[in-house]
Structure 1
Amino acid sequence: MDRTVLREDMVDSLQYEAKGFVRSDAVGLAMRTVPRHEFVAETEDAAYADRTLERLGTRVLSPSTAARLLEALAPEPGDSTLVVGVGVGYTAAVVAEIAGQDVVQGVDISRRLVYEARDNLDRAGYGGVLVDRRDGIHGLAEYAPYDRVLVEAAAVEPPRALVDQLADDGRLVMPLGASEQSLVAVDADGEVTDRFGPVAFAPMLVEGEQADTVERNRTVREDREFAQRNTHGRRGWEQDWIDWDSY
């Protein structure tokens, strides 16, 4: 089937009253324009089906989930935007279609995904989007302040650096929570201003937790938790901080 028809059918389905994932003309038009098949290694029919896919150790958001994020973000033409956890680059491309390529940046902690996103964006016609390999919790201060920040990973609270990189009237959208998550919008004061219902995202990774390593070492978070359990479980004579040789 013609790719344009597939995109039209995809967005028509997401705009259907029973779903209502796409509500704005801006998001609808952008999703009708961006060639999603350039971002997933699947058949064209699968690329435009409303389902989650896997690529290089990361989850490729379903079109309906991407639409929820984009509608909550509400980018406008010219909005300086940072996408944290850019993944394969699809949502960054949709934002770029609305805001403009030269004002959109993306970061990801996985080097392989950074290369993948760059290639996908270039092939899809959005090569002007800058994608860099960074620990997303620190953002991309060189291009701040941002009118919009989109975080495609969950955290129990809005990362301070990302909030600090918002413009005064900026808007940060992210999944907030741990086992129970809610999609929220946060203002430049770090306050939740809107909630958009429950979601389920993987937690934001930190340095040492990349999902695409050949053999995953124990992560930073696991090391910290192990040390805490080990400390509480030791007897006094086993504690590292006691210098027994001095007695």
Structure 2
Amino acid sequence: GDARRRMVEEQIAGRGLRDEAVLAALRAVPRHSFVPAGMEGEAYLDGPLPIGFGQTISQPYMVALMTALLGVDARSRVLEVGAGSGYQTAVLAELVAQVWAVERVAELAETARRRLRELGYDNVHLAVGDGSLGWEEHAPYDGILVAAAAEDVPAALFDQLVVGGRLVMPLGVPHRDQVLTVYRRGREGFDVERHTPCRFVPLVSGDVKGAEDVAENETSGLAASGAPAGAARTKAVKICISGRVQGVYYRASTQREARRLGVAGYAKNLRDGSVEVWAQGDAAAVDALVAWCHGGPPRAEVERLEVEDVGPDPGMDTFEVR
């Protein structure tokens, strides 16, 4: 539709990503099919969205960028860690021969599996499991895409990559600044390229979450409807954004994004040319706003983003521009 076309042209091609195969894949996948019920009208906006259980569907530009950095083609076999709602999975399925995807939250995995099947993606294999272990049975892979952050790449993932293959993953301290990093496996080691600042939910290892675990832990995220699930965990952060961020509608765009996510706080210009953002609310929603701030509106050029955990302000119940 028109919204999908505008998303690709303005948010992705407009930021300089020119990989025609990737752009075609983003045009083909109906992103609105992979967001919670009631949020379809927000599916093509320039930012991540909460999908429940403390997880998010990534910003369209970040999905496109990670896919392009993977460097895959129609013959490739790809492993995806952290399938979430299945949107990134579908984009990969448009481009490659086979996708093996792992998701540790059983209910998200089942919903993604159903959506992908309904849309006709018969080259996707999705399992519930610990993504940090990969999927050894079908290794090696030409590309591995990890849609969750950790301080280091799990050794099992390196072991499952072919020589000449690439692994794309955000590295850094969870809930703080991270860097999208690309590893290319050579015959004698790995070449590493640190690409761009980003913000992802943490990669969790250990026991997977079945339906029972999810029900017990619903307060840590957002319900499938996108509404707060019980007394959801709250957090507050102060963000300092540097670069070309004044005079490009950064504050107004941040306000619009924050209100969409249900986050309270403010955005204000500082004398040194940066923008300060205070954000508080549900932890997953705050993380989604921080992820959006890494890119900002289309005319912004973010060079640095610093995030500081702070105590919530009980008197702050809306988001304003100062």
Matching residue of 1:94: 91
**2:39, 2:132 → 1: CA distance?**
34
**1:94, 1:124 → 2: CA distance?**
12
**1:91, 1:123 → 2: CA distance?**
16
- In the alignment, structure 1 residue 201 sits paired with structure 2 residue 197: no
Highest relative contact order (Cα 8 Å, sep 6+), 1 or 2? 2
CA displacement at 1:79 relative to structure 2: 0.7
Larger Rg: 1
Is this contact kept in 2: 1:38–1:123, CA < 8 A? Answer: no
**2:124, 2:76 → 1: CA distance?**
13
TM-score (norm 1): 0.79
**1:16, 1:191 → 2: CA distance?**
30
Q: Say which structure is richer in strand.
A: 2
**1:106, 1:188 → 2: CA distance?**
21
Matching residue of 1:34: 29
Pairwise CA RMSD: 2.1
**2:79, 2:134 → 1: CA distance?**
8
**2:81, 2:145 → 1: CA distance?**
6
Alignment partner of 1:188: what SS? strand
Matching residue of 1:229: none
Q: Which moved more, 1:164-173 or 1:55-64?
A: 55-64
Is this contact kept in 1: 2:12–2:60, CA < 8 A? Answer: no
Q: Say which structure is richer in helix.
A: 1
Q: What letter corresponds to residue 54 of structure 1 in structure 2?
A: P
- In the alignment, structure 1 residue 53 sits paired with structure 2 residue 52: no
Structure 1 segment 9-158 matched on structure 2, within 5 A: 9-17=6-14, 19-20=15-16, 22-41=17-36, 42-57=38-53, 58-100=55-97, 103-158=98-153
CA displacement at 1:214 relative to structure 2: 2.5
Is this contact kept in 2: 1:92–1:104, CA < 8 A? Answer: yes
Identity rate, percent: 37
Q: Deviations over 1:43-62 (max 9, x none)?
A: 54311112211112111112
Is this contact kept in 1: 2:185–2:191, CA < 8 A? Answer: no
CA displacement at 1:187 relative to structure 2: 2.5
TM-score (norm 2): 0.61
Q: Deviations over 1:17-48 (max 9, x none)?
A: 4x22x320011000001111111124543111
What is the aligned length? 210
CA displacement at 1:207 relative to structure 2: 2.2
Q: Which runs of 5+ in 2 are unaligned?
A: 219-322
Is this contact kept in 2: 1:152–1:201, CA < 8 A? Answer: yes
Q: What letter corresponds to residue 49 of structure 1 in structure 2?
A: L
Is this contact kept in 1: 2:81–2:102, CA < 8 A? Answer: yes
Q: Which runs of 5+ in 1 are unaligned?
A: 218-247
